[in-house]
């Protein structure tokens, strides 16, 4: 038998709460029903005690894009099959392995049973369901096309996931090389350099400046090596804090758009995301101004957010989107502006944007395929320069010593 804290409603509509012993929630509900009440919420005291000792890590507990894609896809299938929404959400909650997501789905289910709108409940969890997700579901509810809207939304998230996966995949190779280079360099500084420093000290060799710098770094790291991981963590923390400030984010986003190879991928990725999201929203029936506002909120780069935000304001006053984007030819390719202009003239903006999104997604795929080939020689040059610096710094005193013999 477990003790349950419960909240129930009487047949007259009054709320009541208390503690009762029961085998499970079903038996608790039966007991309350006999007493003329309906169970609303229940939690066992055992679960309450467990929660006190439960440590959650936000990074590990987050809901991934893949889980949201599966949720939207399965939700659409069950709605199309005529399954009631509360039952659908119960099934989807049982399917997910993410505890946070499961809890959220069950909370949404409880609110729907009480008569709340689905989109309204989704909006209470902005860390899980984006504004795009909520707005499209709301349109689907209002127009009775939730099944079709969920199809468009699923396709949108799948494309977003595909682009992110390609970019991450392209960055794995350079990241591994840089990590290996740093680790080898640190090991050399900690293990090899102090031994060579001792040899030079015994021989009384006059050391050049570069050698003195390398030996000073190696000696410091060999004594205080434990400060290195702490320093890296502090650096990453400060970097994250700086990037959360307006000035820091602006400087970083501007810098990214200036890097030769990376800037091209950033522009193509943001262009693809802009036109794909805008196409999905317009296809779902979201008004153009509201669509632009939502797109602005989904973009990561400050310059793209500013462009969409201004576009929303000016379209509201009667301006055409293509005309507004001509002011942002430095971040949006001319093709985007021209195709949007064609879409506005023909009245088929959504279709044109969808085709345009496919084109830029293909461009991103090709760019990320070639990224490793472009970065590889640059990395080799960097590795060569670092190895050369270490070699010259250590060999130069030996040559000097040989020359004096």
> What's the pLDDT tens digit per position in 300-330?
889 998 999 999 999 888 888 888 888 888 8
Question: In this structure, are strands 2-10 and 37-44 parallel, antiparallel, or unpaired?
Answer: antiparallel
pTM of the model: 0.67
Closest of 37, 31, 45 to residue 11, by C-alpha = 37
pLDDT in tens, 271-284: 888 888 888 888 87
* Topology of domain 67-158, CATH: Receptor-associated Protein (1.20.81)
- What contacts 96, CB < 8 A, 6 or more positions away? 67, 70, 71, 102, 105
CATH topology agreement for domains 67-158 and 265-365: yes
Concatenate the DSSP letters of all residues of 183-208 into one string.
HHHHHIIIIIHHHHHHHHHHHT----
State the alpha helices, DSSP H only, in 53-145. 58-61, 65-80, 85-95, 99-113, 118-122, 131-143
State the average pLDDT for the chain.
82
SS3 state at 336: helix
pLDDT tens figures, 80-136? 888 888 889 999 998 888 888 999 999 999 888 888 888 888 888 888 888 888 888
| pLDDT category of residue 52 using cuts at 50, 70 and 90 | very low
Positive/negative CA dihedral, 61, 62, 63, 66:
negative
At residue 46 the predicted structure's pLDDT band, cuts being 50, 70 and 90, is low
Token pair 């990241």: residue: 175
In order, the DSSP letters of 285-330 are T--HHHHHHHHHHH--SHHHHHHHHHHHHHHHTT--HHHHHGGGTT
Give residue limits of the domains in the chain. 2-52, 67-158, 265-365
Torsion angle, alpha carbons of 45, 50, 55, 57, to 10:
-70
CA atoms within 13 A on the CB side of 39: 19
Q: Is 6 left (phi over 0), alpha (psi -120 to 50) or beta?
A: beta
CATH topology classification for 265-365? Receptor-associated Protein (1.20.81)
Would you state the pLDDT for residue 234? 93
Over pLDDT 90: what percentage of the chain? Answer: 5
């Amino acid at each position: 038998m477990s003790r349950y804290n419960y909240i129930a409603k009487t047949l007259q509509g009054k709320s009541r709460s208390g503690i009762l012993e029961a085998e499970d929630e079903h038996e608790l509900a039966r007991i309350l029903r006999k007493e003329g009440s309906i169970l609303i919420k229940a939690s066992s005291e055992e679960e309450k005690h467990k929660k006190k000792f439960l440590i959650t890590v936000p990074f590990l507990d987050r809901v991934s894009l893949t889980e949201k894609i599966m949720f939207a896809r399965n939700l659409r299938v069950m709605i199309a099959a005529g399954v009631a929404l509360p039952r659908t959400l119960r099934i989807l909650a049982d399917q997910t392995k993410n505890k946070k997501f499961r809890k959220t789905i069950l909370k949404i289910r409880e609110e729907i049973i009480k008569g709340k709108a689905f989109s309204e409940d989704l909006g209470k969890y902005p860390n899980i369901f984006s504004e795009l997700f909520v707005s499209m579901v709301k349109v689907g509810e209002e127009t009775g096309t939730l099944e079709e809207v969920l199809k468009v939304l699923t396709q949108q998230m799948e494309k977003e996931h595909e682009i992110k996966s390609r970019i991450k995949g392209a960055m794995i190779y350079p990241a591994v090389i840089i990590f290996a280079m740093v680790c080898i360099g640190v090991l050399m500084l900690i293990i090899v350099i102090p031994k060579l420093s001792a040899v030079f000290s015994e021989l009384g060799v006059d050391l050049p400046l570069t050698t003195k710098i390398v030996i000073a770094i190696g000696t410091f790291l060999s004594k205080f090596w434990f400060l290195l991981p702490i320093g890296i963590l502090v650096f990453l923390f400060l970097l994250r804090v700086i990037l959360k400030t307006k000035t820091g984010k602006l400087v970083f986003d501007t810098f990214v758009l200036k890097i030769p190879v990376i800037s091209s991928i950033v522009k193509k990725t943001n262009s693809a995301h802009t036109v794909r999201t805008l196409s999905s929203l317009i296809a779902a029936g979201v008004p153009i101004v509201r669509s632009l506002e939502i797109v602005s909120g989904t973009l990561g780069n400050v310059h793209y957010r500013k462009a969409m935000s201004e576009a929303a304001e000016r379209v509201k006053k009667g301006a055409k989107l293509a005309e507004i984007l001509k002011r942002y030819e430095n971040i949006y390719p001319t093709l985007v502006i021209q195709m949007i202009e064609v879409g506005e003239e023909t009245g088929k903006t959504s279709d044109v944007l969808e085709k345009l999104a496919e084109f830029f997604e293909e461009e991103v795929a090709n760019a990320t395929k070639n990224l490793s080939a472009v970065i590889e020689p640059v990395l080799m040059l960097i590795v060569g320069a670092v190895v050369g610096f270490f070699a010259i710094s250590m060999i130069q005193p030996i040559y000097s010593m040989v020359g004096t013999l």
